[in-house]
Copies of this chain bind each other. A is one copy, B any other.
């Protein structure tokens, strides 16, 4: 019973809340609702039927709705519907109470016109911050950072820093790191709240701050940011522009989402799904996402078919040759996918540095040699015992041997080459490598079969 704690305590008393909404009993509703964690509020809210949902806006202030919206998890297209239920002025005020990065995320899901209209009626200060965040390219540090950080100067005491911190705590996205900037807003240091609390009140910040700050550039890839935060165990990392001015921070909760997203992305590409559809989607939406891949693969498969067509003569003389086509193509596909997965993950996790690429290629050639030899010998024996034909056994065995070497190499070379060309290597997904290796393996197999035709019994 791993969930015993969960089940005993029911965090959300949903039936009580729904009843209060039905009876328009604002007091009972608020008494229960505002006590909830914003994530639970959001879960309850998105689970409501559309006819009762708008009542929530009547009972909660835009500021309270802001906390809820920061924790919402819905499909992109649903934002539009939810916001359409509220008065535009209410939306604008809610957005201005949200952390700038979360507000920018919401606006990013709307169509451009709609987003601009909310920004127009919004508080100027908030709108300006959000507009800046909206201007950064997707998947960069800039696009996931927030501007609500706490910055102090190096020549002030710990006591005065704590005073600033107390004052800014309600607004800042994190107060657990305080960044130290020079007169020109250049980032010069960082101090954790833990160290501030331990330090003596009269100490100068310059004495206790850590001055080798690890920062990320605003244009850095979000995956790279995630890697740094994981390596350094940071709760937040500062973002600087090209002149090293502090312009924002990225907090660890956003990084959890990035890691999840990127992992799902690599995974779905390996499987040949353009984007992992949520399970509640309808079959048409799911088919729409998968068909592009399937059709491309269909055409690649037709190429393989036409290639085999050239050996129809050989095939009609020795029908038994056809029996081993799926085996050889399948082994090539599997071994290629293995090599691909190692290379793609190596690149994604940063394990694979420039200088180790050649090492990897040589290593993979060796791996192909070993797996090829093992499987080749095994197959030769099995086919010989099954078909009582040593030449056929050798033909299939040697084909497997050669195929595994080439397929393993192809599996690692293709993603490495794409990485060099600055293309996301995960695009060279499983199905592509599989098809390339299908073609290679069939060329090897039928090429050899045609050569040794006369020796086959």
Chain A residues with CB under 8 Å of chain B are: 1-6, 9, 11, 35-37, 39, 71, 73, 140, 165-166, 169-170, 175-176, 193-194, 197-198, 210, 212, 214-217, 219-221, 224, 229-233, 235, 240, 242, 244, 252-253, 255-257, 259-260, 263-264, 266-268, 270-273, 276-284, 286-287, 290-291, 293-295, 297-298, 301-302, 304-306, 308-309, 312, 315-316, 319-327, 329-331, 333-335, 337-338, 340-342, 345-346, 349, 351-352, 356, 359-360, 363-367, 369-371, 374-375, 378-379, 382, 386, 404, 430-431, 434-435, 438, 442
Given the known interface contacts A293-B334, A325-B326, the answer about A273 and B5 at a Cβ–Cβ threshold of 8 Å is: no
A256 and B272 contact, Cβ closer than 8 Å, known pairs A264-B345, A291-B374, A293-B334: no
Copies of this chain, complex-wide, total 2
Question: A39 — which chain B residues lie within 8 A by C-beta?
Answer: 231-233
Tell me whether A272 and B302 are in contact (CB under 8 A): no
Residues of chain B within 8 A (CB-CB) of A278 are 346, 351
CB distance from A345 to the nearest CB of B (A): 5
Leading 3 A-B pairs by shortest Cβ distance:
A283-B366, A263-B263, A271-B341
Identify 14 residue pairs between A and B in the complex whose beta-carbon atoms are under 8 Å apart, listed by A's number: A2-B217, A2-B221, A6-B217, A37-B212, A39-B231, A71-B233, A267-B267, A267-B270, A283-B369, A294-B404, A298-B327, A315-B315, A316-B316, A430-B430
In this complex, what residue of B is CB-closest to A302? B382
Across-interface contacts of A371 in B (CB, < 8 A): 287, 290-291, 294
Closest to A379 in B: B298
A229 to B386, CA, bound (A): 56
Check B37 against A214 for contact (C-beta < 8 Å). yes
A271 touches B273 (CB 8 A): no
Interchain CA distance A146-B430 in the complex, whole Å: 39
Query: Closest CB of chain B to A379's CB: distance in Å?
Result: 7
B331 and A309 within 8 A (CB)? no
On chain B, the residues within 8 Å of A325 by CB distance are 308, 322, 325-326
A213 to chain B, nearest CB (A): 9
For A330, give its contact among B363, B369, B435 (CB under 8 Å): B435
Within the complex, the shortest CB–CB distance from A394 to chain B, in Å, comes to: 16
With A212-B11, A287-B370, A309-B320 in contact, is A267–B266 under 8 Å at CB? yes
Q: Please state if B356 and A330 are interface contacts (CB–CB under 8 Å).
A: no
Within 8 Å by CB of A279, from B35, B321, B356, lies B356
For the complex with contacts A294-B338, A325-B326, A330-B434, 11 further pairs of A-B residues with Cβ separation under 8 Å are: A2-B140, A39-B231, A71-B233, A229-B256, A259-B259, A260-B349, A267-B270, A267-B341, A315-B323, A316-B316, A334-B434
Which residues of chain B are near A282, meaning CB under 8 Å? 363, 366
**Which residues of B have CB within 8 Å of A140?**
2
Most chain B CB neighbours (cut-off 10 Å) among A6, A193, A345, A435 = A345
* Interchain CB contact under 8 A, B340 and A166: no
Q: A212-B37, A323-B305, A431-B334 are in contact. Are A252 and B235 (CB under 8 A)?
A: yes
A35 to B210 alpha-carbon distance, docked (Å):
8
Out of B217, B352, B378, name the residue touching A298 (CB < 8 Å). Answer: B378
Of the residues B224, B267, B305, B369, contact of A324 by C-beta under 8 Å: B305
Of chain B, the residue at the smallest CB distance from A73 is B231
- Residue of B176, B290, B302, B327 touching A367 (CB-CB under 8 A): B290
Q: Which residues of B contact A346 (CB under 8 A)?
A: 278-279
Chain B, Cβ-Cβ closest to A266: B267
Report the separation of the CA atoms of residues A404 and B283 in the bound assembly, to the nearest whole angstrom. Answer: 14
Which B residues touch A264, using CB under 8 A? 263, 345, 349
CB neighbours (8 Å) of A330 from chain B are 297, 301, 304, 329, 434-435, 438
A349 to B278, CA, bound (A): 10
Q: Are B338 and A271 in contact (CB under 8 A)?
A: yes
